[in-house]
Amino acid sequence: MYLLRMAGLAAVLVVSLLFAVFVGDQGPWYFAWVVGTIMIILISGAGAILLDAQQEGKIGSSSETEL
């Protein structure tokens, strides 16, 4: 099972690399879109998690958290 999963991940990795090489060569902006969109999602997600962390740090210190 573990081996199977590793093999699956390796296959995904190879396909992504091939995709990156081909599309990065033929269509740099398409590639930029893929990478950029993932980045946007991760950054906005991280922002939300940061908000959770900011609030957990503040709880108890004041009665009303400011947002």
**Residues in the site for another protein, rule: CB under 8 A?**
26-30, 32-33, 36-37, 39-41, 43-45, 47-52, 54-56, 59, 64-67
Amino acid at 57: G
Q: How far is the CB of 6 from another protein (least distance, A)?
A: 19
Beta bridge partner(s), residue 59: 62
CA gap 67, 65 in Å, rounded: 6
Q: How far is the CB of 30 from another protein (least distance, A)?
A: 6
Contact 65, 59 (CB under 8 A): yes
Q: How far is the CB of 16 from another protein (least distance, A)?
A: 14
